[in-house]
C-alpha cells in the first residue's frame, strides 16, 4: 500500500515535470548593467517598450559611477551570469574582448551594416577592437563627449562686455580657442565675489582627470601615443602636450575653491550655484542644466563645443558607451534579439526623444535631433572631432599612472609639465613592455 502511494507520487511529479518542460518557454528576463545616471533611466523607459512589444522583461541595473568598473569586472572575473548585457566604457573593449568576457558581435555588426548605420567615431571607439581589425564587440548605444556650459547672462552683461574688451582687446563671446577660454576664465575669476572663472574635471578616482586633460591635449595637437605601435615617448611628452598640460594647470588655478576632486556633479553645480562662468562636462549631464527644476539658471545657461588649440585643431574627449553581450550569460540568443530591436531606426529615434544620445548617423544628422535641445547642435558637431583614451586590456594601469603624474603637477604643484609627462611616458613604456606590446 505504502509502496503504491510512493509510486503514484513519483509518477505524478514526473508527469508534472515533463508537462512543464513541454510547455512553450515562459517570457524571459534580461538584465542590462550600466552606471547610475540619467541615461540609464531613459534606457529603462525605452526597454519598457520592448517589454510591451515582446513580453520579455528587461531590467536596467545600475551602480554608482566610481563603483561601475569594479563591479562589472568582479562579475566578469567570477564568470557570473547576473548580467546579460553591459553598457561598458569604451576603454573596456580590450579587457572585455581579450579576457573572453564579451561575445564577438562581428557577424551581427556586418549583417546589419552597422559600420555605416552608426556614426563613424562611435563605431571606432565603442565597438571595434583592436582598432582597424574589423572585429566588433559592442553596439554603440550612448554617444557622448565633453562639451562646455556657460553663463549667458554673465557673458552678455554690457558692463562686463565693455570691461572685457578694455582688458583683452576683443569682444567677450563664446570662446573659439583655448586662449580665449583662458582669458574669459581669468576675467571672471573673482574670489572676493565668490565668483570663479572655470570648472574643470580633476577627480582621480576613475577617468575624470584624464578626460579633462584630453580636451586641451588633443586640441593642442598632442596625443596620448600611437595606438598601433604603442609608442608613447615623444608623443605624450611632446611640446604640444606639455603646452596643453600647462594650460590645464593654469585653468585649475581659476576654479572654485576645493576643486581638487571634481567630476560631473561638481561640473553642473558650478553652473547651478553661480560658482563659475564656464563648466566642462559630458553632454549627457546637460539635460539637468536646461531643466529649471534642477538649475535655477536654466534660462541663462548656454553651451559650446570644445574650443580649438593654438594650431587651429579642434578635438574633444570621448565619453559614451557601447552595449555588449556578456559571454557568461545564458540568454545570449534573447540578447541578440533585443539588440536587433534596439538598432531599428524607429527605436533609435525614440531613444533620442527620451533623452538618450543615439549613435545612429541618420538620427544624429536630422534637423529634428539637432534642434531638439540647446546643446544638441554642439553635441552633433563634437561627435565628429572626438578622440579616446587607450582601450588596451591594461588601460586601468595606464589611467592610474596618468592620474598620479598629472595630479602631482596640476593639483599638488610638484615639478614641471615636462617632468610630469616625461615621467608618464616612462611609466607607460614600462607598462607596455611588461605586457609585451613591443
Q: Which residues contact 264 (CB under 8 A, 6 or more apart)?
A: 65, 208, 281, 282, 285
Residue 29's beta-bridge partner residues?
57
Matching residue, cell 575653491? 257
Rounded to a whole number of angstroms, the minimum distance from the CB of residue 105 to another protein is 18
Question: Residue 63 interacts with another protein (CB under 8 A)?
Answer: no
Question: Residue 100 interacts with another protein (CB under 8 A)?
Answer: yes
Near another protein by CB under 8 A: residue from 204, 281, 358, 392 = 204
Residue 85's beta-bridge partner residues?
32, 325
Integer angstrom CA distances of residue 214 from 21, 174, 279, 367, 390: 55, 20, 15, 30, 12
Between 202 and 335, whose beta carbon lies closer to another protein? 202
Question: Residue 95 interacts with another protein (CB under 8 A)?
Answer: yes
Rounded to a whole number of angstroms, the minimum distance from the CB of residue 100 to another protein is 4
Residue 249's beta-bridge partner residues?
none
Between 177 and 269, whose beta carbon lies closer to another protein? 269
Binders of another protein among residues 411 to 430 (CB under 8 A) are 411-414
Near another protein by CB under 8 A: residue from 106, 177, 261, 297 = 261
CB 153 within 8 A of CB 161: no
Q: Which H/E stretch holds residue 199?
A: strand 196-199
# chain residues binding another protein, by CB under 8 A: 35
Between 325 and 352, whose beta carbon lies closer to another protein? 325
Task: Reduce the secondary structure of 291-305 to three states and give it as a string.
Answer: CCCCCCCHHHEEEEE
Query: In 3D, which of 61, 70, 94, 148 has the Cα closest to residue 398?
Result: 94
Rounded to a whole number of angstroms, the minimum distance from the CB of residue 80 to another protein is 13
Near another protein by CB under 8 A: residue from 9, 16, 27, 74 = 74
Q: Which residues contact 19 (CB under 8 A, 6 or more apart)?
A: none
Between 292 and 414, whose beta carbon lies closer to another protein? 414
Binders of another protein among residues 381 to 410 (CB under 8 A) are 393-394, 396-397, 399-400, 404, 407-408
Burial of 102 (0-12, 13-18, 19+ CB in 10 A): buried
Question: Residue 300 interacts with another protein (CB under 8 A)?
Answer: no
Q: Which residues contact 102 (CB under 8 A, 6 or more apart)?
A: 88, 93, 96, 137, 138, 324, 325, 326, 327
* Exposure of 332 in the CB half-sphere (CA atoms within 13 A): 13
Matching residue, cell 548593467? 33
- Evaluate the omega torsion of the peptide bond into residue 177 and state whether it is cis, within 30 degrees of 0: no
Phi/psi of residue 357, nearest 5 degrees: -95, 95
Near another protein by CB under 8 A: residue from 76, 102, 304, 351 = 76
CB 219 within 8 A of CB 305: no
Between 252 and 283, whose beta carbon lies closer to another protein? 252
Between 182 and 405, whose beta carbon lies closer to another protein? 405
Query: Cβ of 159: how many Cβ atoms within 10 Å?
Result: 7
Between 5 and 412, whose beta carbon lies closer to another protein? 412
* CA–CA separation, 392 and 382 (whole Å): 24
Rounded to a whole number of angstroms, the minimum distance from the CB of residue 431 to another protein is 10
Question: Residue 207 interacts with another protein (CB under 8 A)?
Answer: no
The 330-369 contact track toward another protein, x by CB under 8 A, reads ----------------------------------------
* CA–CA separation, 184 and 173 (whole Å): 9
Between 300 and 400, whose beta carbon lies closer to another protein? 400
Query: In 3D, which of 438, 319, 437, 307 has the Cα closest to residue 389?
Result: 319
Q: Which residues contact 413 (CB under 8 A, 6 or more apart)?
A: none
Between 84 and 207, whose beta carbon lies closer to another protein? 207
Question: Residue 194 interacts with another protein (CB under 8 A)?
Answer: yes
Rounded to a whole number of angstroms, the minimum distance from the CB of residue 99 to another protein is 5
Question: Residue 193 interacts with another protein (CB under 8 A)?
Answer: no
Near another protein by CB under 8 A: residue from 177, 260, 274, 366 = 260
Between 77 and 294, whose beta carbon lies closer to another protein? 77
Rounded to a whole number of angstroms, the minimum distance from the CB of residue 430 to another protein is 10
Residues at the site binding another protein, with contacts judged by CB under 8 A: 69-70, 73-74, 76-77, 95, 98-100, 194, 202-206, 256-261, 393-394, 396-397, 399-400, 404, 407-408, 411-414
Amino acid at each position: 500500500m505504502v509502496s503504491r502511494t510512493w509510486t503514484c507520487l513519483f509518477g505524478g511529479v514526473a508527469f508534472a515535470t515533463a508537462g512543464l518542460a513541454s510547455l512553450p518557454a515562459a517570457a524571459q528576463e534580461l538584465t542590462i548593467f550600466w552606471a547610475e545616471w540619467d541615461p540609464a533611466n531613459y534606457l529603462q523607459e525605452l526597454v519598457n517598450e520592448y517589454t510591451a512589444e515582446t513580453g520579455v522583461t528587461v531590467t536596467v541595473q545600475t551602480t554608482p559611477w566610481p563603483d561601475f568598473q569594479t563591479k562589472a569586472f568582479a562579475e566578469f572575473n567570477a564568470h557570473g551570469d547576473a548580467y546579460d548585457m553591459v553598457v561598458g566604457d569604451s576603454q573596456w573593449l580590450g579587457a572585455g574582448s581579450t579576457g573572453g568576457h564579451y561575445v564577438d558581435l562581428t557577424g551581427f555588426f556586418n549583417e546589419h551594416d552597422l559600420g555605416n548605420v552608426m556614426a563613424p567615431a562611435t563605431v571606432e571607439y565603442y565597438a571595434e577592437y583592436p582598432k582597424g581589425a574589423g572585429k566588433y564587440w559592442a553596439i554603440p548605444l550612448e554617444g557622448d563627449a565633453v562639451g562646455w556650459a556657460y553663463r549667458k547672462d554673465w557673458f552678455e552683461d554690457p558692463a562686463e562686455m565693455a570691461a572685457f574688451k578694455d582688458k583683452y582687446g576683443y569682444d567677450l563671446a563664446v570662446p573659439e580657442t583655448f586662449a580665449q577660454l583662458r582669458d574669459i576664465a581669468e576675467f571672471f575669476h573673482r574670489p572676493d565675489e565668490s565668483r570663479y572663472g572655470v570648472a574643470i574635471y580633476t577627480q582621480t578616482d576613475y577617468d575624470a582627470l584624464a578626460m579633462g586633460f584630453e580636451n586641451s591635449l588633443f586640441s593642442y595637437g598632442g596625443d596620448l601615443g600611437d595606438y598601433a605601435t604603442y609608442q608613447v615617448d615623444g608623443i605624450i611628452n611632446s611640446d604640444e602636450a606639455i603646452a596643453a598640460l600647462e594650460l590645464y594647470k593654469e585653468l585649475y588655478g581659476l576654479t572654485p575653491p576645493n576643486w581638487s576632486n571634481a567630476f560631473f556633479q561638481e561640473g553642473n553645480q558650478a553652473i547651478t550655484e553661480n560658482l563659475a562662468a564656464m563648466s566642462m562636462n559630458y553632454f549627457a549631464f546637460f539635460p539637468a542644466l536646461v531643466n529649471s527644476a534642477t538649475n535655477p539658471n536654466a534660462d541663462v545657461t548656454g553651451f559650446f563645443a570644445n574650443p580649438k588649440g593654438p594650431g587651429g585643431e579642434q578635438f574633444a574627449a570621448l565619453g559614451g558607451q557601447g552595449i555588449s553581450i556578456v559571454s557568461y550569460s545564458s540568454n545570449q540568443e534573447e540578447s541578440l534579439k533585443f539588440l536587433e530591436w534596439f538598432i531599428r531606426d524607429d527605436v533609435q529615434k525614440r531613444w533620442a526623444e527620451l533623452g538618450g544620445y543615439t549613435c545612429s548617423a541618420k538620427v544624429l544628422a536630422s534637423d529634428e535631433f539637432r534642434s531638439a535641445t540647446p546643446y544638441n547642435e554642439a553635441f552633433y558637431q563634437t561627435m565628429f572631432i572626438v578622440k579616446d583614451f587607450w582601450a588596451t586590456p591594461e588601460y586601468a594601469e595606464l589611467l592610474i599612472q596618468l592620474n598620479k603624474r598629472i595630479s602631482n603637477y596640476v593639483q599638488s604643484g610638484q615639478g614641471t609639465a615636462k617632468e610630469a609627462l616625461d615621467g608618464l611616458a616612462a611609466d607607460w613604456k614600462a607598462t607596455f613592455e611588461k605586457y609585451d606590446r613591443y
